[in-house]
Amino acid sequence: MADDEHELFEQEMAGVVPLRREERIPRNSGPEGRDGSLAHRRHAAVTDSAVDRNSLSDREIAPLDAWYVLDFKRPGVQNGVFRKLKQGRYEHEARLDMHRMTVAVARRELFDFIEQCREFGLRSVLLVHGKGERKPERERSAVLKGYVNAWLRDLEAVQAFHSAQPRHGGTGALYILLRKSEEKKRENRERFMKGRVPYDRFS
């Protein structure tokens, strides 16, 4: 009986080809072999840092007094322009509120905010950094304010800044004047030249 079953089995399996087995790759026993993703993570870390365009310093910066008035202007900014900025007479074309942000998040958000403002050709913006902790023992300690004061000076796009008027947040906020983009300069030149008659028409 057993011989009959064996013969029947062989008849049924006639012509069947065994499946091809994939070649196995031996696992590396070295340090990186224990974690195959280690090399990938290291490469990603290097790549990510290389594409980070954020030029703002991540060093520790001392807090400032919550009521300290910030002011800064680069050479070439007219006194009349700076005075209007200080008085809050320029319309705010954009606003960034940094309340409750950590220093790391604030660093990223501020850099991206200024980049976007430049991209859209904005000139006057409002930055709300707050006056610091609400706890009584740290009432006069404004952490983000100190960072913002240093960061904005390092950004070439920033022409000037000044603590805001009380109606816009007082010493917990800043008016920022940005450098005019090349595109805006060209638009202004074109607008200025419209309607003007070339000098050689009268020669």
CB 144 within 8 A of CB 96: no
- 3-class SS at 198? coil
- State pLDDT tens for residues 73-114: 999 999 999 999 999 999 999 999 999 899 999 999 999 999
The domains of the chain, with CATH numbers, are 64-181 (3.30.1370.110)
E-assigned strands of 49-89? 64-65, 71-73
- State pLDDT tens for residues 104-157: 999 999 999 999 999 999 999 999 999 875 554 444 458 999 999 999 999 999
